[in-house]
């Protein structure tokens, strides 16, 4: 049984990057990875039901984002 919560986002949703304090502490210079804190990005793909990818890269867990607008 999978204990991880299911990703609530879908391809096409617009999300905002709001990383946790843990992630902020672990990744110095997050913007080197293609996204800045507070950036909005449209989800282009979701891998393994966990990682979000965008035009400018990705591979961040969905838990580090907040929904801005839902794809219709």
Model confidence pLDDT, tens digit, residues 42-72: 999 999 999 999 987 778 999 999 999 998 7
Extents of the domains making up the chain: 14-69
- pTM of the complete model: 0.82
**pLDDT band, very low/low/confident/very high, at 14 (cuts 50, 70, 90):** very high
pLDDT average, residue stretch 17-36: 78
8 A C-beta contact, residue 12 and residue 71: yes
What is the percent of the chain where pLDDT is above 70? 90
Residue 32 pLDDT > 80: no
pLDDT average, residue stretch 15-34: 79
> Looking at the chain, how many residues does it have?
72
């Amino acid at each position: 049984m999978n204990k991880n919560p299911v990703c609530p986002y879908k391809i096409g949703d617009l999300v905002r990057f709001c990383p946790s304090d843990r992630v902020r502490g672990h990744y110095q210079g997050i913007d080197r990875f293609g996204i800045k804190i507070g950036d909005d990005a449209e989800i282009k793909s979701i891998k393994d039901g966990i990682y979000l990818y965008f035009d400018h890269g990705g591979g961040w867990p969905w838990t580090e984002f907040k929904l801005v607008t839902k794809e219709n």
